[in-house]
Amino acid sequence: MAAVNAELDESSYLAQIDLDRLPCHIAVIMDGNGRWAKKRRLPRIAGHRAGIRAVRQAVEACARLGVPYLTLYAFSVENWKRPHAEVELLMKLLREYLKKEIGELNEQNISLGVIGRISELPAPVRRDLERTIEETKGNTGLRLTLALNYGSRAEVVDAVRALVAQARSNGEIEIDESAVSRHLYTAAIPDPDLLIRTSGEMRLSNFLLWQAAYSEIWVTETLWPDFTQKHLFRAVTDFQKRERRYGGLGLE
């Protein structure tokens, strides 16, 4: 007898999705690579390598659905605290991903963007990022944004600095919510509707603190390297059952 709680397969979740009510922006905290590797007695970096497959799954699922924006948290400002060898390998993997994926991104009409303190990344990483951004900038489908050397508090500090500099040169400046939003790295991106975190942690880890004010949060125990299109479709299905009230009284 089939288990009552048996998970549905990919196409069953996909069939449940109302394509007229898709989240405009999905943001993902990709977490659990280290634990995935540890379970297999492999070095942490094997988990990061396996995580690239999951990146492809998330990107393809969003492209298939027609979600306009996907943002992936790939490296935080706090991740520099990790051993030098791990950081170096993460940067190497990022460069490999950019080189391998450029054809696929163009094929799928995907453009690449970045948020974070990009100027502090190693020069070869910056060069590869710039090249991929340039070569995909004409694409009109999914906007894939990588959060690299990203920290939400650093982003707010940078926004405040920019506002102060503007006030100094203009003499006066109006500061309201929209002015702050316009000075964040995400100025050109709508706030995330759906925020996914893998590996079961219930925290934001300094990701999009301002922008996620009213995001619907979806956490799965699945470790990032095991994340597939099915998980993304399931997150969207659950998202569509939520009632977003924004502090009001909702529909009833």
CA dist., res. 236 & res. 6, Å (int): 19
The one of ligand IPE, Mg ion, none whose footprint includes residue 76, by CB under 5 to 8 A per kind, is ligand IPE
The one of ligand IPE, Mg ion, none whose footprint includes residue 79, by CB under 5 to 8 A per kind, is ligand IPE
Nearby residues of 209 by Cβ (< 8 Å), 6 or more positions away: 152, 153, 156
Closer Cβ to Mg ion, 203 or 244, answer by number: 203
Contact between 47 and Mg ion by CB under 5 A: the answer reads no
Instruction: Select from 22, 23, 31, 45 the one that contacts ligand IPE (CB under 6 A).
Output: 31
Contact between 88 and ligand IPE by CB under 6 A: the answer reads no
Residue pointed to by tokens 């298939």 = 64
At its nearest, how many Å lie between Mg ion and the CB of residue 31?
4
At its nearest, how many Å lie between ligand IPE and the CB of residue 249?
34
Closer Cβ to ligand IPE, 64 or 82, answer by number: 82
The one of Mg ion, ligand IPE, none whose footprint includes residue 29, by CB under 5 to 8 A per kind, is ligand IPE
Closer Cβ to ligand IPE, 189 or 196, answer by number: 196
Q: Could you confirm whether 206 is annotated as catalytic? A: no
Task: Give long-range contacts, CB 8 A cutoff, 24+ apart: 247-252.
Answer: none
Q: State the DSSP string of 71-123.
A: EEEEEEGGGGGS-HHHHHHHHHHHHHHHHHHHHHHHHTT-EEEEES-GGGS-H
Instruction: Select from 14, 28, 31, 71 the one that contacts Mg ion (CB under 5 A).
Output: 31
CA dist., res. 229 & res. 57, Å (int): 5
162, two tokens = 């920019």
Give the dihedral sign, CA 70/75/77/79. positive
The one of ligand IPE, Mg ion, none whose footprint includes residue 203, by CB under 5 to 8 A per kind, is ligand IPE
Q: Could you confirm whether 79 is annotated as catalytic? A: yes
- Interface positions, 151-180, toward Mg ion (CB under 5 A): none
Closer Cβ to ligand IPE, 79 or 240, answer by number: 79
Nearby residues of 151 by Cβ (< 8 Å), 6 or more positions away: 76, 77, 78, 116, 117, 206
Build a one-symbol-per-residue string for 58-77: x at contacts with ligand IPE by CB under 6 A, - elsewhere: ---------------xxxx-
Phi-psi region of 247 (alpha: psi -120 to 50; beta: other; left: phi over 0): left
192 neighbors 22 (Cβ within 8 angstroms): no
Build a one-symbol-per-residue string for 188-217: x at contacts with ligand IPE by CB under 6 A, - elsewhere: -----------x-x-x-x------------
For the chain, what percentages of helix, strand and coil (3-state, to nearest 5) are there?
50, 15, 35
CA dist., res. 139 & res. 111, Å (int): 5
Residue ranges binding ligand IPE (CB under 6 A) = 29-35, 73-76, 79, 90, 199, 201, 203, 205, 224
Q: Which amino acids are annotated catalytic?
A: 31, 79
